[in-house]
Structure 1
Amino acid sequence: MVTINSENISLNDNHKTVDEIKLLIDRYNNKDLKPNEFKTKLIHYAKKTGFINNTCRKQAWHLLINSPDDSSEEYSEDKDQYKSDQYYEQTRLDVIRTLKRFPPNYSDSERSQLQDELIVIIMKILIKHKELHYYQGYHDICLTFLLVLDELCLPVIDSITMSHLKYFMEPTMEKTRDSLLYLMPLIDCINSECAEYMERGGVGHVIFALPWFITWYSHVLDNLDIILRLYDLFIVSHFLMPIYVAAEIVNYYSDEVLSKDCEMASLHQYLSYLPTEIDDKTWEEIIKRALYLIKTHPPNTLENLNFEWKIKCENIENSSDQLYVSPRFRKDKNKNNNNQQELVKQQSNKLSRIVFWGVTITVGGLAIYLWNHSQAIDLNKFEILKSKNDLLRQENNQSFFFYIVFLLLRKLMNSYSSSTPSSEILFKRFRLWKRQYLHVVIYTSLFWIFLDVFFIMLFSDCTKQVLIPCSSSASLKDKPVLIDVDPIEDSRVRRHPKFQVDKFQDKTQTISQRNNVFNKKKYEKSKKVSSGGFISKWFGSDSESNPSSWPGEGGRAVVIPSHLKEEAKKRFKENQFNIVASDLMALNRSINDQRSSKCKSHEFPPDLPTTSIIIVFHNEGNSTLLRTLTSIVGKSPIEYIHEIIMVDDCSVDREYLKGTLEEFVKELPVQVRILRNTNRLGLMKSRLKGAEIATGDTLTFLDAHIECSPGWLEYLLYEVKKDR
């Protein structure tokens, strides 16, 4: 990893840089500099320090970007044509949403004016270039240019669109996706450990960096000064420069990345918000590193790097039967480098039990032997022995061990006290001990031994069929561990609750019973009001849990069996996630309760408002959608769910979203209504359509691929009640 020294640019240096840029522009305007020489020097400032303030930036951007002449003939002025364009409505919604939060310190009237100007600018460019397709995030870039250049921004945005952004505006996002995939090879070049860790953690697709790339970080950052500093760099660089910056961001925070759990949810969440935590000084360091990286690995070498990375990924995938468990890496880098990976092989469940019971029987046998041995000891015959010959002449040879102990005690006491009578008194007291005292000690020890055995066998994972073998937690605390996981057997896969309704063997049993989604006893209990007038905490979980060996139980990662890996790859395109892993999990699979003890013990008033839960889905995976419904019903107080409204946003070629889904919802203990759009309306319009027919006291909008935790609904309704 290359480290480049970073120094703070002082205020005086900023003034000096601004003066130099102004002088450079004046010399160019006076024709004292040739265009090529002027542009080279201006690019140098853009990369090294940026243009510092908007006065210099406004002039520099115009001179750097070869913008077309702004003639009225090039851009349409027909407002009716704007509104009739296929992208007008989406553009308007995106602009309104963005201008509610950004830029800061603007009045409502100023925001309204910016909104109208920005919509017109975007529509003019899209109408002029019919081959371009609008994407969400394009408006963020246009807004930044508008804030700096005002009314002069249109030709500049046009030029930047055709030179840098047109690759994002094709009919499909394939080229954008392919360009984004260069990120992992670049990370591998500068920090292979971090790249491999991310690949194992399931974020090798680098979706977290998509908004960084296509919006030039303006969608994820709120600091306008940092955004403009990055724009100074991007407009004079290759269009892939945001990828190089992203690689150095991950590299700079690699220790923090390695400290996260090696699973997609944790890594994706951290990486998605990573740019928001970077300060000005760190950004300058990252930019310098990115400039060095693009110099050592220019864009024309990325294809070769990507090819090498794919080969490396295949090697990682070949070891996918080994579940990579994240360590908590030390922040101290020296200690972190000393950590070595260990391969802990899964121990046989039967062997663990044999060894454990063998140790238990041995300890018990030793205790019984000591007890029997104590019966033969006559403590009244103990004498103070002063020579080795006296010891050998003892008639009671069975007490040899105890005599040795007493001799050692006497010698120890004599070493600490020069007076012989004190040691003699001590051993006289030993003679007075009765056999009953020794019996009490032995009986108590035996009792605690068997009590310990009972609790250890009750709570130890060694006696259960689990994927992770018993090992010292201390040995795994600071080290990355590779746990060898056997592929899931076919019989185990077939045993857990499946989502295909027509494959259930017991046709007389309802779907909710087969999937154990609703516990009637707890439901009845939850309706009882305590003497204090509050409902006891509703746990929402099943009394009978699934076997821990089932895929995904307890939130564990699912290991795809070798015979299903090809199917998993082929079906990934269906929903852009591993639908085979979802199909392997039970609909009512358990997930860890992350609430604190105070949250778990909180009680709510009985008169909470009801809610209508609205779920919009389009071509959703069967098992994920049914698991969403199962989770809602199983983890929620049923009396507060007024209804569930499902809006099918014109799903196609998914027959299971019709008959199978309708049969499933009939078995649920709540009212479920399914609306089906005849045309694709999108998420927001579909939600509004569901809200129009909702009759609950409140509205709750959920995605179609979620799982609820216990207590998720009560707190939401409680906050609503407090405001009423």
Structure 2
Amino acid sequence: MEPGLGGLDGSTGLEPPPKEKTAWESEKFQAVEEACKWRDLDKLRKLAESEGGFLADELRQQAWPILLGLGPDVPTPADSWNELPRHQDEDQVQLDVDRAFVYYPKDQTSTQLEIQKAQLSSLIISILRTYPYLHYFQGYHDISQVLLLVLPARLLPTALARLSILRIRDFMLPKLDPAIAQLRLIPDILRGADPKLYRHLSGTEPFFALSGTLTMYAHDITTLGEISRLFDVLLAREPVFSVYMFATIVISRRAELFEVEEDEPEMLHSILSKLPKPLDLDRLIAEAVSLMERHPPEGLRAWKGISSASVLKTARDVNACCMQTLEDGERWFGQQSREILWQRRMRAARGLVWKHRRPMGMAGLAVLVGLVAMLARRETGMGVTGWLAAILARWVR
């Protein structure tokens, strides 16, 4: 194994000795290796969905980079990021890294733990300094930790950069609006798949799924084996699959949820915000695949509200996503950032218009609405609220 980032081995170093493979495991090992050899994304996806996923880290070290679009020759990472300007979110990174490696790997000495934390901190900061437009979010360290414990060190910066910019970009924008928009798909999925459960949860906002979907479940699943197996399919499938995965988990708990009255949304939210234990991942993955086939995202009402620059749409085709460049991702990042600004200005403008609707009368209101639509699209130092305040001052004098 190659030396890891910061001098640490890329493996945990604490794994039990390999046991003899069964005939089924040997056959699947061979199938994964063959798919990796030919970089067969469709075959890798089917293998990731099937029982056990990629089975072992030695196979994941071959398969995950391919699924993330890494070429066969990845250059050795340089330390030049150390010389780049400090990123605004580095203090929060350190706070989160200090809380990392709580559940796995097991039986580390304090020295080993500190070395791994330093490695994780360097990995995250190298991404943020190299791509300073990205915004760190709490839970990003959980995702990064999984990659760090599985992949060879020389692949980590490139793998995490592509994951960040092309697969979880929606969560690294200035605001979490696109992440919330993703959650709005869950009620639509439930409406089609289980109308009775949908009605039962209709008073509960889908924010219960934020931690799971935001962190690719890495914050909520506490064993390395389980989260690595889930990453197999999350990397092999398109990003929207993560949303279907959570909807499947909700449906799997319908009996438990019906024990709580629908007029107790706080209790329902409390139940749904924690993943059930144990998780039958193979069964849940198979059901999520079926759920997505029966109720594809294009048929959901909330899908229309998803930005065309969202990863849910730009990475809808995993094969195409593997061919995308980081420059493509930066361009979509800019588009989404502008959309967020415009949407927030429009919400502020609508609120201001509604507040002053009586003094203006209907005719004045119609004119002002037109001005709002025009001005909200303009970049001005005053901002839309300042423009509206100036206009309203004229109307109400």
Percent pairwise identity: 25
Question: What aligned pairs does 1:608-687 form with structure 2 within 5 A after superposition?
Answer: none
Task: Output the CA distance in 1 between the equivalents of 2:77 and 2:65.
Answer: 21
One-letter amino acid matched to 2:255: D
CA deviation vs aligned residue, 1:86-135 (integer Å, no higher than 9, x gap): 11110011011122444333322221111111111111111121221000
What do the CA deviations read for 1:678-710 (whole angstroms, capped 9, x no partner)? xxxxxxxxxxxxxxxxxxxxxxxxxxxxxxxxx
Q: In the TM superposition, what whole-angstrom CA distance separates every residue of 1:465-488 from its partner, at most 9, and x where no partner exists? A: xxxxxxxxxxxxxxxxxxxxxxxx
> What corresponds to 1:192 in structure 2?
195
Counterpart secondary structure, 2:54:
coil
Structure having greater relative contact order (Cα 8 Å, sep ≥ 6): 2
Matched-pair contact (CA < 8 Å) for 2:187–2:198: yes
- d(CA) in 2 for partners of 1:57, 1:216: 17
Q: Secondary structure at the match of 1:93?
A: helix
Contact 1:22–1:56 (Cα < 8 Å) also in 2: yes
Give distance in 1, aligned partners of 2:41 and 2:261: 47
Q: Partners in 1 of 2:77 and 2:146 — Cα distance? A: 25
Distance 1:126 1:229, change over 3 A: same
TM-score by length of structure 1 reads 0.37
Q: In 2, Cα distance between the equivalents of 1:256 and 1:188?
A: 18
**RMSD in angstroms over aligned alpha carbons?**
2.4
Number of residue equivalences = 282
Matches within 5 A, 1:277-676: 277-279=277-279, 282-303=280-301
How far apart are the structure 2 equivalents of 1:124 and 1:171?
19
- SS of residue matched to 2:281: helix
Per the TM alignment, residue 64 of structure 1 is displaced from its structure 2 partner at its CA by 2.5
Deviation at residue 270 of structure 1 after TM alignment: 1.4
Question: Quick one: distance in 2 between partners of 1:73 and 1:225?
Answer: 27
Deviation at 1:259?
0.7
Return the offset for 1:70: 5.0
Q: Distance in 2 between matches of 1:12 and 1:71?
A: 37
CA contact (8 A) 2:44 2:236 kept: no
Cα distance, 1:11 vs. partner? 5.1
- Where in structure 2 are the equivalents of 1:156-175 lying within 5 Å? 156-175=159-178
Which runs of 5 or more structure 1 residues have no equivalent in the other structure? 1-9, 308-569, 571-724
Equivalent AA in structure 1 for residue 209 of structure 2: A
Contact 1:194 1:254 (C-alpha < 8 Å) held by counterparts: yes
The CA distance in 2 between the partners of 1:94 and 1:183, in whole Å, is 28
Q: What does residue 39 of structure 1 align with?
A: 41
Aligned to 2:347: none
CA contact (8 A) 1:118 1:146 kept: yes
Give the whole-Å Cα distance in 2 for the aligned partners of 1:18 and 1:211: 32
**Tell me, what secondary structure is at the counterpart of 1:255?**
helix
- The answer on 1:264 being equivalent to 2:265 is yes
Closer, same or farther in 2 for the Cα pair 1:306/1:293, shift >3 Å? Answer: farther
Q: Greater helix percent: which structure?
A: 2
Distance change in 2, residues 1:115/1:304 (3 Å): closer
Give the distance between the partners of 2:160 and 2:103, measured in 1 at CA.
22
| Equivalent position of 1:245 in the other structure | 245
Cα deviation for residue 71 of structure 1 reads: 4.8
Once residues 137 and 304 of structure 1 are traced to their aligned partners in structure 2, the CA distance between those partners, rounded to angstroms, is 25
Once the 2 structures are TM-superposed, how far is the Cα of residue 221 of structure 1 from its aligned partner?
1.0
Give CA-to-partner distance per residue, 1:375-395, whole Å, 9 cap, x none.
xxxxxxxxxxxxxxxxxxxxx
Distance in 2, Cα, partners of 1:223 & 1:101 = 7
Q: Is the 8 A contact 2:35 2:41 kept in 1?
A: no
3-state DSSP class of the match of 2:219? coil
Q: Which residue of 2 aligns with 1:127?
A: 129
- Note if contact 1:182-1:306 (Cα within 8 Å) is conserved in structure 2: no
Q: Which structure has the highest strand share of the two?
A: 1
Call closer, same or farther: CA 1:123–1:304 in 2, change over 3 Å. Answer: closer
- Cα gap change, 1:73 to 1:186, in 2 (>3 Å): same
Residue 12 of structure 1 and its aligned partner are, at CA, apart by 4.1
Distance 2:300 2:128 in 1: 31
Q: Which has the higher Rg, Structure 1 or Structure 2?
A: 1
- Alignment partner of 1:14 out of 25, 29, 37: 25
- Paired with 2:78 and 2:173, the residues of 1 have a C-alpha distance of 21
Instruction: Quote how far apart the aligned CAs of 1:265 are.
Output: 2.6
1:98 partner SS: coil
Deviation readout 1:592-638 (Å, 9 max, x if unpaired): xxxxxxxxxxxxxxxxxxxxxxxxxxxxxxxxxxxxxxxxxxxxxxx
Quote the residue 2:326 is aligned against. none
CA distance in 2, matches of 1:188, 1:145: 35
2:150 corresponds to 1:139: no
Aligned to 1:464: none
Spell out, residue by residue over 1:524-562, the C-alpha distance to the aligned partner (whole angstroms, 9 max, x if none): xxxxxxxxxxxxxxxxxxxxxxxxxxxxxxxxxxxxxxx
SS at match of 2:218: coil
Give yes or no for contact 2:188–2:302 (8 Å, CA) kept in 1: no
CA distance in 1, matches of 2:45, 2:171: 24
CA distance in 2, matches of 1:304, 1:268: 21
